[in-house]
Amino acid sequence: MNGVDSHPLDLESPRLTVKAPEVRYDKQGNNPDEERIAAAILAFAKDFGRTAAAYMESCVHCGQCAQACHYYVASKEPKYTPIWKLEPFKRAYARESGPFAFIYKAFNLKPKVTIEEFQDWQTLLYDSCSMCGRCSLICPMGIDIAALVGRARHGMFQAGLVPHELWAVAERAEREGSPLGATAKVLKERIGWLAEEHDIDIPLDKEIADVLVTLSSIEIMKYPNSIVSLAKVLNHMEASWTLRSDGYEATNFGLLSGNFQWQSDMSMRLINAAIACKAKLMVLPECGHAYGALRWEGANIYGKTLPFRVLHISELLEENIKNGRIRLNPMNKSLTFHDPCQISRRGGATEAPRKVISALGVDFREMKDTGDFNWCCGGGGGVVTIHRADPLRYRAFEIKMKQIDDTGAELAVTACSNCRLTFDDGKAHFHWDKSMHSLLDLVADNLV
C-alpha cells in the first residue's frame, strides 16, 4: 500500500494500514485554550513540593545533561537538552510557587506559558524523552530531571495535550485492563494453547499461591514464549505460583501518559490480586516501567508498606540461582547485555542480570558505556508508541547499534520486552544483522 510506514506497535503485521500522520499537536477534548492552560498550571502547582522546589532552585544551567541525552547527542539540537524540556514547568514554578513568585508575576519577568508553548513542548516532554534518567545521573546538582519530566506530564495530561497514540493506549489500559487488547479473555486463551502446545502447566487464578506472576501486554501479544519460559523456570523451582486474570498487566501507561489516577488504578489491580491470593511475592515481568511503577511507587499508591515482596524477574532468577533452586547448563556463546534504564539505572537492579549471565557460563562482553551509564534504546517512556517520534528515535538508536556492534558479541540480551520491541523495530528499519534476546528465555532454555 502506498504511503504506509511500519511501526513497532502494529503487532499483527509488519506494516500499518494507515499513513503516518503529519507533524501535529494532539489535543483531547474540546476545552478552550485558557482552560487547558489553567488545568496544566494547577496540576503543576500540585507537584511543586519541597523536592521539586529544591530541584528548580538548584539548576546552574551547566548543560552537562545535554551530553547525557541520546536524543541530543544524536541530533545536536539544543532544544533536546533535558533541562530545557522542563521550561514550562520551571516557568510556572517561578510565577506561582517560587520564593520570588510575586515579583516574577507582578513584573512579568517570567511570562505566563501560552497554549502555543504547551503545544510545542508536547514533542519535548513526550516524543523526545524516554525518562531514562541518564541526565539525572550526570547532573552535578543531583536534579532528578527524569522525575520532573514525569511530573510535567501530569500537567500536560490535565490540559488534554498528550500525543494521541500514547493517550489511546493508556485509555484502553484503563478501560480494558490492557493497552494492547490483551484482555483477561485473551490471556486465558493464550495460556490454554501455550500450555497444550508446550505440554506445560501454566496455573491461572489459583485461590492461594506464594508467588503472583505478572506480565506485559507486549509479552502476551508479541513474545508469548516469555510465558512459557516463566512456567518452565517456576515449575523447575517447584514454586507455588499463579497468574491472575484480575491482575496480570504490569505495564503502566497511566504512569507514562501522566494520568496519576490511571497509574494508581493499574497498580491497585496488581496489588489487590496479590492480596487476594495471599501472595508472599509479586514477580514483575521483563518490562522496565512496570518495575518502576510497582517496585518504587506501589507502596505510595497503596498508602502503606506492601504486604508482599516485589522482584523483577531478573532478581528472582539471580536469587534462586544463588540458593540452588535454579541450576543451569553452560552456554558456549559470547554475549553482551543491554541494561533497561528503568531496571538498572532507575531501578537499582544492575547486578542481578550479570550474576545470571555469569551462571550461564558465557563469554560476557560489556559495552563501553554499560550498567548505570548505559545508553537508552530510545523507545521507553512511551516514545515507541508515538509515530511522529520515529525519525528522531531511529537516529538515537544508532548509538545503541554501535555499542553492541563494538562488542563483537554473538548474542545481544536484555531483560525488558519494550526494549526488545524497540530493537526489533530498529533492526527492521536499518536492516541490522543483530537480534535482541530475552534473558529469561536463555535461562529457561538452559535449565539442568
**Domain final residue, candidates 142, 162, 182:** 162
Domain membership of residue 229 (yes or no) is yes
Domain membership of residue 256 (yes or no) is yes
Domain membership of residue 15 (yes or no) is no
Residue 86: CATH number of its domain: 1.10.1060
Q: Report pTM.
A: 0.92
Please report the pLDDT score of residue 20 as a whole number. Answer: 52
List the domain range (segments joined by +) for residue 75: 33-162
Please report the pLDDT score of residue 336 as a whole number. Answer: 98
Please report the pLDDT score of residue 99 as a whole number. Answer: 87
What tens digit of pLDDT does each residue of 63-94 get? Answer: 999 999 999 999 999 999 999 999 999 999 98
Same domain, 150 and 172: no
- Bridge partners (DSSP) listed for residue 215: 249
Q: Is 251 helix (H, G, I), strand (E, B) or coil?
A: coil
Distance, in Å, from the CA atom of 429 to the CA atom of 442, rounded to the nearest integer, reads 26
Distance, in Å, from the CA atom of 15 to the CA atom of 8, rounded to the nearest integer, reads 9
Per DSSP, 144 falls in state -
Same domain, 281 and 395: no
CB 270 within 8 A of CB 241: no
What does residue 75 show for φ and ψ, rounded to 5 degrees?
-110, -30
Domain membership of residue 61 (yes or no) is yes
Owner of C-alpha cell 543483530: 434
Owner of C-alpha cell 545533561: 65
Please report the pLDDT score of residue 397 as a whole number. Answer: 98
Please report the pLDDT score of residue 2 as a whole number. Answer: 36
Same domain, 306 and 431: no
Domain membership of residue 246 (yes or no) is yes
Please report the pLDDT score of residue 18 as a whole number. Answer: 44
What tens digit of pLDDT does each residue of 26-42 get? Answer: 999 999 999 999 999 99
Q: How many domains does the chain have?
A: 3
Q: Which residues of the chain have pLDDT under 50?
A: 1-5, 12-18
Q: Strand order in 211-213's β-sheet?
A: 241-242, 211-213, 281-284, 309-312
Domain membership of residue 3 (yes or no) is no
